[in-house]
Structure 1
């Protein structure tokens, strides 16, 4: 299989601009016929592939540009800024995102004969690596399976298992094994991030959070920043603000109500933080987002 074959298979299904859910719940396909504005979003445990065009993802102070022939693995929930950098009507951006099952990865890691983990410090929770031929082949077969919906329930889990085995044994493997190894810093931090995601509206006390994962506060802060590119407080703030943006877009809530809903005691502080992250006050930003959505809908219907 070649990357051009994968691009063809994605384009055959994702024929209009947008994000396309598929009959495989963990798999989404993506097309964009032009460069896009930087978008704040959460990347969870999963594998992103650009089959045609180019994309850029910013995590903290780290900027990752990737295109055909590369794969981007994310091991924990991360607030990032993402945008398409290459794509046009003749050759649109084509990509795919495959969410991974953390429990299945842990089980597979225990079953496989894998080399021991190194004692190197925790690295970032994103890994950009060349897309090896066997992994590309498995990903292409997974997309092709969408043309046989009656076989998805039986075959998709087998291909997804193969993909996870190849990820664990390939260049991305050390990142995933750090996540899977109980007691490793990455595993402990993933637990802390899961708690923050479920309790983002509560006041975060770093000392208590460090205690939850059996780390000293200083070690916790250091490892957290190494992994995510931001402090625990900055991480929680981004979770709050991204949830606030979705609430205002989807439920038409006003800024004051939204601020209280996501845990802010001060509406003015909420507005300042929101403007700092998204580049405009809440109401102006939401109007801009609504205009962009209308443009995307019009483009997909054209």
Structure 2
């Protein structure tokens, strides 16, 4: 199945003009990537998603946790969070090839309710990012999505059923318990998710842990403990990362100056902003924005082609 999935992804990439970089599909939730070389780390917001590697290898760093995943392994992100990812194994002869599929929490919940024996949620909070094996049923579902992308008229009819299949195999697998937590409205996992949504909406403001705990309907101490167990960072570190990632977007997409970006994301001091930005990204804000623009400008205008 591994060779079939790699062949299907490669055929799609070649149908889109070949080369490397990010390749969109006719499905907004499905993105394909090919790289001929190892890449520098990229900090970004990860949404709940399934990231499957067909060839090569990647790593992800979230908080102080570092995970590696290679051919026929997948990364599952069950909560929106900032993290750093990069390709670590790729060459022109054996490029990195992978696909990312956004997960639909509502669909996961619907499938879970239909399981005769639903997976038990974990007894204690675990990080909301984990690596697992891609078995044949899951790989077949991913391949069906890739093939479907060449027939846009089929997508509205077939896409929901394939995504339900993916949800089923994920919930039936060894990490079904973690995904079960994602679907339970009253779980600590979902309470933290609500607080993260609040953070995402108000990250430019000065926030206190007590405010976020109130949104999560938890005591401040319990909230802080569960937040760090799930995300590997403190709530205020999480907020700082959101600010700095948004400032990068403003400088790259909107051509904002360093001072403008700093002010818009909530910093009163441009010098403090520059210090924290350089500490997070490893380079000064202006230079990093230029590097980022050069890296992705060649892929930004790509549109999915049909046969």
TM-score interval, normalised by the smaller of the two chains:
over 0.9
- Number of aligned residues: 296
CA distance in 2 between counterparts of 1:97 and 1:296 reads 16
1:103 equivalent in alignment to 2:106? yes
Match of 1:274 among 273, 277, 286: 277
Tell me: CA distance 1:154–1:260, structure 2 relative to 1, closer, same or farther (3 Å): same
1:72 equivalent in alignment to 2:75? yes
Match of 2:129 among 126, 129, 136: 126
Name the residue aligned to 2:193: 190
Name the residue aligned to 1:226: 229
Name the residue aligned to 2:10: 11
Misfit runs of 4+, over 4 Å: 294-297
The secondary structure found in structure 1 opposite 2:123 is coil
CA distance in 2 between counterparts of 1:270 and 1:56 reads 27
The answer to whether the 8 Å contact 1:210/1:216 transfers is: yes
Runs of 5+ consecutive residues of structure 1 not aligned to the other structure:
298-302
Name the residue aligned to 1:82: 85
Name the residue aligned to 2:28: 25
The secondary structure found in structure 1 opposite 2:159 is helix
The secondary structure found in structure 2 opposite 1:16 is coil
CA distance in 1 between counterparts of 2:122 and 2:164 reads 28
Name the residue aligned to 2:173: 170
C-alpha deviation, 1:103, in angstroms = 1.7
Name the residue aligned to 1:180: 183
Name the residue aligned to 1:62: 65
**Cα RMSD for the two superposed structures:** 1.6
C-alpha deviation, 1:57, in angstroms = 0.7
CA distance in 1 between counterparts of 2:167 and 2:298 reads 37
The answer to whether the 8 Å contact 2:47/2:102 transfers is: yes
C-alpha deviation, 1:208, in angstroms = 1.3
The secondary structure found in structure 1 opposite 2:149 is helix
Runs of 5+ consecutive residues of structure 2 not aligned to the other structure:
301-307
Name the residue aligned to 1:205: 208
Name the residue aligned to 1:300: none
